[in-house]
Amino acid sequence: MAEATILASGEAIAARRRFRVLRKLLHHRSFMAGFIIVAVMVIAALCAPLTGVDPNQMRVRLRFRPPSEVNWFGTDQFGRDLFTRTLYGAQLSLWIGLAVAVLSGVVGAAIGVLSAQFRRLDSLLMRIMDALMAAPAILLAIGLGAALGPQTHSVIIALAVAYIPRTARIVRASALVTRELEFIEAARVSGASSMRIMFKHLLPNASGPLLVQSTFVFAFAILAEAALSFIGIGPPPPAPSWGNIIAEGRQFAVQSWWIMLFPGFAISLAALGMNLLGDGLRDVLDPRLKVES
Amino acid sequence: MAVPLLEVDDLTVRFRTDAGWMTAVDRVSLAVGEGEALGIVGESGSGKSVTALSILRLHAAATTRMPTGKIHYGGKDLLTLPTREMRQIRGGEIAMIFQDPMSSLNPVLTIADQIGESLRLHQGVDQATARKRAIELLDLVRIPDAARRVDEYPHRLSGGMRQRVMIAIAIACRPKLLIADEPTTALDVTIQAQILDLLRDLQRELGMSVILITHDMGVIAEFARRVMVMYAGRVVETAPVGQMFRRPVHPYTEGLLTAIPKLDVDVRRLPTIAGSIPDPTAVIPGCRYSPRCPQVQESCRRDSPALLPAGPEREARCPPRVAAMAKETVA
Amino acid sequence: MSAALKTDTADAPIIQVRDLVKEFNVTRGRGGPPAILRAVNHISFDIRSGTTLGLVGESGSGKSTTGRLLVGLIPATSGEISLFGETITGADGEAALAKVRSKLQFVFQDPHGSLNPRMRVGDCIAEPIDIAGGWSRKDRADRVSELLETVGLPRAVAERFPHEFSGGQRQRIGIARALALRPDFVVCDEPVSALDVSMQAQIINLLLDLQERLGLSYLFIAHDLAVVRSIATDVAVMYAGALVEQAPKTVLYSAPKHPYTQALLDAVPRPDPDRVRSAALGGEVPSILNPLPGCAFAARCPHVMAVCRQDRPAPRPTGEGHVVACHLY
């Protein structure tokens, strides 16, 4: 009798509480707006080959064509189709954003969790992070990018290093809170190793803030890639990254405004999309704002 | 009770949750006489705290629909009173103390500042007078060495002392009614006894009415003169305190009283109430206690029971039990 | 001080605690003078197989610290803890603890904080199994189902997450986890104090049933004397880190000897409107940061004598398994 009642009420509560996060996200306006923007950009990037045009093919006769029915975004100083280049640029820029977000997320999470679990390591790791954080992220990335040379993977490494300290701090803060909860003690009573505590308990419970932070890093990386390319330490030309297209169109900004306009717009849209997505995720996932029902 | 000091009529409070609107307080009525001690007892989700907060309109505006019903106090309806007048009553004529004395005190202000704030706001006294009054008040709530303690910050005080400070702030303007929401729940047993003694003494000295909200039947028995038992947002029973403990009418009250661990006798196995406290958003047809009630009848699951008179000054929301009682009295 | 405290029964105790001390270093702000906080102050007690020792005290009494010391969650400063004949304090403590670890478990107070919200209920319950290792998938799944049944929950809940359950149900899940490796001794740290009254009795009865069926021994830590009475065999009362009184349950509740125990019992509000409680005990629990010499209760004691302020009273047996640390006896 008692068990039946427990089951019945448990069933009722469960039905309403399951997929709570997903349902909240679906009802979150800015999350959905961000999600749609990002999804459209990803699909566009994947569809780039469908234009059937080589993004690097030069046609001198077709230089500086303004947007038209044939060349939707116009052409650049070498007669390359800017619509195609912007789509391929989406591939490269989104790839850099994703790679930086994942790399800084993985390394930052590892450092954060290690600092929280091993208190002796903490002061050493956090002083290194502080030192890295003392320089503005973009300056750090410029320095590293210059040192590593203008290549796509060096851009990724430079930007990831620049953003690891912030991610590490966020994961550490979350893990320090989790560490005080009783389920950690429960695991230790059963003889759990530090590894198990870090990977089964601390890390999964930091996943919300980590995910939110990673979306912001993603947005930052897209903007920073453009900045690095603009000053010539981005992916090497003629690779069509958004930053490269803008950098190349700089000299012709006045007479051929369209060269810079469309990739610039793409950068803003991508950054906006990721930020909206991140804001939505934070509203739903961040425990500081979450009200226990 | 001649003319009650405060009368709540059909108060209903609804909250917005993830799962839609939920009724936290469902047509609750109550009355407190001058100098009376009313106890409201219930478990989590019973709506006892929400009822208290709504009297002072302290519910969260963003997630709460404006409560409906009437709250009569001094010839006015508190639910429709302009905000400015409400602020005058709040902390002035009706004061409130809460469970957690730490988060109720501002950590960066001294005790003198916090007591003085209430006095300056409601009585417009100057700083020096406020300080003098603060010391008197600390003395009144039996804080030793009040003249020195008045300049301390909250973190220097123990939990019991902080609750005393909260009480000092609450009584600073000589309220006619004090609402105490679980005032001793966070405190140790010996400190709880001190605070209950203090509240009772102050009630007598200042002639206040007190509404005491608690989950602890022991605290109710010790402090209240009349009790109101709440379950899942509704009042299930009201009675003078002695009668309720001697002869509970509602099966929930009865179940609760038998399920309490006993301090003075050895019991092999405690009787239990089956099942769990219902999820606040769950819709339960008929009597909300019917899924757990050991004496449930077909009609209980179907018809929403009314609060029925069950003797002088008594009411209970259980038609079968009330009917059985009436038959007994006739026989 | 370390004199063995003999109980009347012939059963050999499975848990023996002698002269246990736990100190914490605390710094007041950065660069402040370091201070020592003695949370547990020379306590000794035994727990016999199949019985429950109720450990009662107010906040800061050191009761929770004692519970954590007993399962090796925190190391002792000095003194001896022996569990099933293994001494887990001292130089070889770690190795000894490893030997008896599977016999020890813990049930926590907070039904919200004691289950990892990111793990399914089944994985929460199986955590001790996963840590121990060496179980086949099928055995593990069968054990989880069996445990859920034992604590009165349907098997299907293994696939759900903790937030889908109420406080009482979560506490059942926590108990199932504690039972996973068939422990002999379970420390229950305030397991019902966060629950509503109507849920408390269910959990207490569950713990009693499990004790009967599985022959468990408990250290049951609580601030609520009535809850302790409903489950304990023996009761020990702590005050400011010291164990002031211990006795079989019936003796302690009917004839408390220590003035603190008496005051504590009197202070509990009873669900009886006709009872008149005597005036509350004045004062507050003293700081354990800079303890004064003498009895910790001296400042509040109605029977205080000159000697109480100078000498710490040693625990003395007074018959019927009663041990009191008070100069009156």
pLDDT digits 0-9 by tens, B79-95? 999 989 998 898 889 99
End-to-end Cα separation, chain B, in angstroms: 30
Look at A248 and C47; give whichever has higher pLDDT.
C47
Tell me whether C299 touches chain B (CB under 8 Å).
no
Check CB contact under 8 Å for B276 and C199.
yes
Give the β-pairing of B226-231 and B37-41.
parallel
Q: What are phi and psi of B83, to 5 degrees?
A: -55, -40
Mean pLDDT across C257-265:
95
- pLDDT value of residue C32: 65
The answer to whether the CB of B322 falls within 8 A of the CB of B308 is yes
Q: Which residue has the tokens 């020379």?
A: C42
One-letter amino acid of B23: T
Specify the 3-state DSSP secondary structure of B238: strand
Alpha-helical segments (H) within C84-196: 93-100, 121-125, 127-132, 137-150, 167-179
Query: What band does A249 get if pLDDT is binned at 50, 70 and 90?
Result: confident
Check CB contact under 8 Å for B197 and C226.
no
Q: What CA–CA distance (Å, rounded) separates B203 from A243?
A: 74
pLDDT at C53 exceeding the cut of 80 = yes
- pLDDT value of residue B45: 87
- pLDDT value of residue C31: 60
- pLDDT value of residue A5: 42
One-letter amino acid of C164: E
The answer to whether the CB of B286 falls within 8 A of the CB of C224 is no
Q: What are phi and psi of C29, to 5 degrees?
A: 70, 170
End-to-end Cα separation, chain A, in angstroms: 27
Q: Which residue has the tokens 């003797």?
A: B311
Q: Which residue has the tokens 């003999």?
A: C6
Check CB contact under 8 Å for C101 and A190.
yes
The answer to whether the CB of B257 falls within 8 A of the CB of B251 is no
- pLDDT value of residue A8: 43
pLDDT at C164 exceeding the cut of 90 = no
pLDDT at C316 exceeding the cut of 60 = yes
Q: What CA–CA distance (Å, rounded) separates B246 from B259?
A: 15
Among A13, A185, A205, beta carbon nearest to C108? A185
Q: What are phi and psi of B173, to 5 degrees?
A: -100, 25
- pLDDT value of residue C5: 46
Specify the 3-state DSSP secondary structure of A38: helix
Beta bridge mates, C52:
C218
One-letter amino acid of A205: N
Of residues A149, A153, A31, A140, the one with CA closest to residue A100: A153
Beta bridge mates, C82:
C16, C87
Report the run of H or E that residue B214 belongs to, with start and end: strand B209-214
Query: What band does A54 get if pLDDT is binned at 50, 70 and 90?
Result: confident
The answer to whether the CB of B13 falls within 8 A of the CB of B24 is yes
Query: What band does C52 get if pLDDT is binned at 50, 70 and 90?
Result: very high
Check CB contact under 8 Å for A9 and B281.
no
pLDDT at C6 exceeding the cut of 50 = no
pLDDT at C107 exceeding the cut of 80 = yes
Least confident of A206-220, B14-28, C241-255: B14-28
Neighbour tally for C24: CB within 10 Å: 15
Query: What band does A291 get if pLDDT is binned at 50, 70 and 90?
Result: very low
Tell me whether B122 touches chain A (CB under 8 Å).
no
Tell me whether B282 touches chain C (CB under 8 Å).
no
Check CB contact under 8 Å for B18 and A23.
yes
CA distances from residue A265 to A42, A86, A92, A242, A271 in whole angstroms, order as listed: 15, 10, 16, 10, 10
Query: Between A203-230 and A137-148, two packed helices, what is the crossing angle to 10 degrees?
Result: 70
Check CB contact under 8 Å for C177 and A186.
yes
pLDDT at C138 exceeding the cut of 50 = yes
CA distances from residue B230 to B38, B44, B87, B331 in whole angstroms, order as listed: 13, 10, 28, 31
Residue A238: asked if its preceding bond is cis (omega within 30°), the reply is yes
Specify the 3-state DSSP secondary structure of B211: strand
- pLDDT value of residue A286: 63
Check CB contact under 8 Å for A1 and B274.
yes
- A1 CB neighbours in chain B (<8 A) are 274
Look at C31 and B165; give whichever has higher pLDDT.
B165
Question: What share of chain C in percent tops pLDDT 90?
Answer: 78
Nearest residue on chain B to C226, alpha-carbon basis: B263
Q: How many Å lie between the alpha carbon of C108 and the closest alpha carbon of chain A?
A: 7
pLDDT at C89 exceeding the cut of 70 = yes
The answer for residues whose C-beta is within 8 angstroms of residue C276's C-beta and 6 or more apart is: none
Q: Is C145 exposed, middle or buried (0-12, 13-18, 19+ CB in 10 A)?
A: middle
Q: What CA–CA distance (Å, rounded) separates A155 from A163?
A: 12
Look at A256 and C150; give whichever has higher pLDDT.
C150
Q: Which residue has the tokens 């810079």?
A: A260
- pLDDT value of residue A9: 47
Tell me whether B215 touches chain C (CB under 8 Å).
yes
Residues of chain B whose pLDDT is less than 50? none
DSSP assignment of B243-298: HHHHS--SHHHHHHHHHSPPSSS--SS-----S-PPPTT----S-TTTTT-TT--H
Which DSSP letter does residue B152 get?
Answer: S
Report the run of H or E that residue A29 belongs to, with start and end: helix A29-46
Among A10, A182, A190, beta carbon nearest to C113? A182
Surface of A (21-60) touching B: CB under 8 A: 23-24
Q: What CA–CA distance (Å, rounded) separates B85 from A27?
A: 39
Largest CA distance in chain B: 69
CA distances from residue A182 to A187, A188, A201, B27, C174 in whole angstroms, order as listed: 9, 10, 11, 40, 11
| pLDDT per residue as tens digits for the range B144-201 | 889 999 999 998 888 889 999 999 999 998 999 999 999 999 899 999 999 999 999 9
The order of strands in the sheet holding C34-48 is: C34-48, C13-27, C78-83, C86-87
- pLDDT value of residue A96: 92
Check CB contact under 8 Å for A16 and B275.
no
As given in the structure block, the two tokens for residue A96 are 């850099």
- A16 CB neighbours in chain B (<8 A) are 18-19, 279, 281
Mean pLDDT across A29-46:
92
As given in the structure block, the two tokens for residue A181 are 């909860």
Among C199, C230, C275, beta carbon nearest to B262? C230
pLDDT at A80 exceeding the cut of 90 = no
Question: What share of chain A in percent tops pLDDT 70?
Answer: 91
The answer for residues whose C-beta is within 8 angstroms of residue C229's C-beta and 6 or more apart is: B261, B262, B263, B266, C54, C235, C249, C253
Q: What CA–CA distance (Å, rounded) separates A239 from A151?
A: 10
- pLDDT value of residue A28: 87
Among C114, C157, C165, beta carbon nearest to A186? C114
Mean pLDDT across A86-110:
93
Q: What CA–CA distance (Å, rounded) separates A273 from A286?
A: 19
Instruction: Determine the residue among B44, B64, B281 to mutate to test chain A binding: the one whose Cβ has the most chain A Cβ atoms within 10 Å.
Output: B281
- A24 CB neighbours in chain C (<8 A) are none
Among A3, A13, A182, beta carbon nearest to C114? A182
Least confident of A88-92, A283-287, C282-286: A283-287
Check CB contact under 8 Å for B189 and C168.
no
Q: What CA–CA distance (Å, rounded) separates A203 from A178?
A: 9
CA distances from residue C22 to A256, A261, C60, C145 in whole angstroms, order as listed: 77, 69, 13, 39
Query: What band does A251 get if pLDDT is binned at 50, 70 and 90?
Result: confident
Beta bridge mates, B177:
B94, B209
Beta bridge mates, B20:
B17
